[in-house]
Every structure is written in C-alpha cells, then in structure tokens.
A and B are shown apart, each in its own frame.
Chain A
Amino acid sequence: SNALPIHPEKHNNEEDEKLVQDYLNQFYTVEPDPKQLGWKTHDESTAEKLQKMQQFFGLKVTGKPDPATLEMMKKPRCGVPDVGL
C-alpha cells in the first residue's frame, strides 16, 4: 500500500503522551468527594500534575515529560494513588 510509514519518533511521542496521561490520571488525580459542599477546586492541568509528581519523586520540577520523568513512570509500582487520600 502507499501508506506513509509512522515516523518512529512521532510514534514514541504518542506512546509517551499516553503513558503520561494514564500515569497522572491513575496516581495524581484527586478523586472528587461527592459529599463536598460549596466551590469545587479547579481541575489541575497536566503540567500542574506533572509538577506535583516530579516534586514527589525528587525530580527536577519542569512540568514537562522529560526523560528522567518518563523513566520514573515506567518503574513497577503500587497502584494506590500518590495524592488525594
């Protein structure tokens, strides 16, 4: 077929992006408290969650998915969230 081959680097970026989103959704998203009254806090942006994760793991706080952050996200770990409990 004439389909363009996926550019490996682009492919990697998509994988990394999914890894970051899945990781932050699973471990750095505070579950809303149904019993909370009054104003709700605003949803944190990906950069804010990334900063929180980088701070927790003692990485450079860049708010960006740099190689050290991605490497940390790939390590086997516990499924309990790091925030919100």
Chain B
Amino acid sequence: YGVTLPGWKKNKLTYRIVNYTPDMSKEDVDKAIQKALKVWSTVTPLIFTRIREGVADIMIAFGTKAHGHCPRYFDGPLGVLAHAFPPGNGFGGDAHFDEDEDWTTGSAGFNLFLVAAHEFGHALGLSHSNDQRALMFPNYAYVSPSEFPLSPDDINGIQSIYGSRPNAPDKRPATPTSPKTCDSQISFDAITTLRREIIFLKGRHLWRVYPGNSEVELELISAFWPTLPPGIQAAYENTKDQILFFKGNKFWVISGYRVLLGYPKNINTLGFPKGVKKIDAAVCNKDTGKTDFFIGDKYWRYDENSQSMETGYPRRTVNDFPGISQKVDAVFQQKGFFYFFHGSKQWEFDPTVKKVIREIKSSSWFNC
C-alpha cells in the first residue's frame, strides 16, 4: 500500500453528494456512496456524516472532460473512470466521477460502489497499491459487491494512518482471503489450457502455470476478465484459440483478453437438452477436434468442426474412460494425456489405450 501524509486530523468527516448521474436512481447513488464510505469506517475510527448544503470534507460530483476548476480532466467513455484528492482544504478529499461512463449497481458497466470505495481511499490519504488483489490497485476489477472489498493490504494501509476501530471486538467482516497454493487438500472448480499455459480456477481466483518452469501466479479472475463471475464451473480451450467458461446454464467465449460480444449465452445453444442445468467439466481433444462435456456420471460429445452435438450421447463416463468413476470437477489435456480432477486427487488418462496411467495429488502442478 502507499499513503499520502498527513491524513485527516479528525475522525468525524462530512460528505456531500453535489450532483447525480442519470444512469442510476438517486436512491441507488446515495446507497452506493454510503456503502462505499462504510467500507472504511468499518476498519477505522472514522465516522462519516452527510450534509446537503455548504462545503463538506468530501465533496462528491459527476462531471465530464474539463469540469469546473478541477485541475484534472476526464477523457470520455472508458480510460479514466474517476479521481480523488488527498485530505486537505479546497479540492482536498473531493471525489469526481466521469459521467461519460456507464454507472451501475451490478457487474455491467462500472460498479459505482466499487469505484467510489477506491476513490474514498484516496480521499482518506491512501495512494495506489501494486497488490492486484487490493481495492487500491489502480485498474478497475469487478468484485461481487456482496463480498467485503478490502484486502489485508488496504486495511493495513488505512490503519497505518487512522488506527483500527476502537473497542470493536474483531467483528470485521471476513476479508476475502486468497486460497493457499500449496494446500495439500486443494481442489479446483475448473481447469483449462490457454495456449502454452494451464489455468486453474477456484472461486474468485485463478492460478497460471507455465509447465516447464516453476512459475505459478495467483491472480483474480476479474483482473483478466472483469465481466466473468466468480465460481466458474467448467472451462476449455477449443481449436480456434478461444476459451469457453461455464457457470450454471450460461457460457462465455473469450478470445485473448476479450469476452466476445453476445455472451453469456445459454448452454442449450450448444445442443444440450433443457434438462441440463450446469456443466461439471469440459475438455477439447486437440487431436480429434471433439469436446467432451462431463455432467454427473455421464458425458456428451461435441464436434467443434460441425459445431454440433454428436448423436448417441450422453454415455456413461466410466464405460469410455475406465477408471474415471467419480464426478469430474475439472479436466484438461496436456501432451495428449487427459487429467481428470476430483477433490484433492487427479488421474492421468491415456485416451489412446483408454487406461488410467496413475493417480496424483491435485496440487502436483504447483511445484509445492
């Protein structure tokens, strides 16, 4: 974390919402601002009181391009979303939001609550953090608002200026913690290759593994693909350098770092019957151009060339993949072998001889 000293010399601060965005109801804007301030008051002695007239410590306004006497300007849609000024008089403590953005309460556009919470970090004396999981990281990353957005890095930063909340039993909402990479019991929601990398997904996070060297990187899924939800259930790389991600009855297609327009779509557009509600795991066999979708104890086969489901499916997984008798959490193909994951175990399967070669711990790819 980084700080701009000094912070405010008082714990009771006032804020005023000077104007509104037409993108959201006034009530939703009020709620988003109040909730964004509460993020910081939950972990410090700070108390925020709203005023409706005059000059508050934190003046909150929406503007476009050059706005008022502000020394900084906005740049139209995307790019810079908002800015704020460190504690002080005049512009000190003020937060401005670019009205050319699409402000929302959800994951579409830019979530006002999340952006406001970040800007109020500046208004209280924090500068940017290079910790990608921190709220004070400069780039926008969508996190479900139902989760507490402050990382340990953010909390350490703000408490280095104001201290922690006095006498509060540590009722702090659980801060999102990162999964332990070398947890021997680790399991995965989904796994896919991405060109020469292997991507392991779990909750809000993903690990990037470069086979052949010891590098394992833990990232937030939303740092790469802001519009993807956490809790992806299946993923696979097809034959067109694209990745498909599945959650519930929806799927997204990613090309490079971009989610293709028109997604998410319903999985029945792939040919699944209405009764199929989710996908457990999927893998595309690069040698045959066929993708297997595993659901419960059965699997479907999809032909990537004809873009259609093959007839005669579903079939029982264990009949065609002897030894793979448990629900498949995740599966991917590497150097011709399939790696099936269930809980903390994985099975290396040779599709040419249709045999399990060996059983391994799921964490074996992380060089623990």
- List the interface of chain A (C-beta within 8 A of B): 26-27, 56-58, 71-72, 75-80, 82, 85
Contacts and interface: CB of A to CB of B under 8 A. Distances in A.
Given A80-B84, A80-B128, A27 B79 contact: no
Contacts of A85: 2, 4, 86, 127
Contact of B138 (A27, A58, A71): A27
A82 B139 contact: no
B80 A77 contact: yes
Contacts of B122: 78, 80
Nearest to B125: A85
Given A78-B119, A80-B83, 9 more contacts: A58-B132, A71-B257, A76-B80, A76-B101, A76-B110, A78-B128, A79-B81, A79-B83, A82-B128
A85 B3 CA distance: 8
B72 interface: yes
Interface string B114-126: 0100110010000
B147 to A, nearest CB: 20
B357 interface: no
A79 B72 contact: yes
Contacts of B128: 56, 78, 80, 82
B140 A77 contact: yes
Interface of B: 2, 4, 72, 74, 78-84, 86, 98, 101, 110, 115, 118-119, 122, 127-128, 130, 132, 138-140, 257
Given A27-B138, A56-B130, A57-B130, A78 B81 contact: yes
A58 B208 CA distance: 14
B142 to A, nearest CB: 10
5 contacts: A27-B138, A57-B130, A72-B139, A80-B122, A82-B127
Nearest to A55: B130
Contact of A78 (B2, B4, B80): B80
B143 to A, nearest CB: 14
Contacts of B110: 76
Given A58-B132, A71-B257, A85-B4, A78 B118 contact: yes
Contacts of B72: 79
Nearest to A71: B257
A22 B138 CA distance: 16
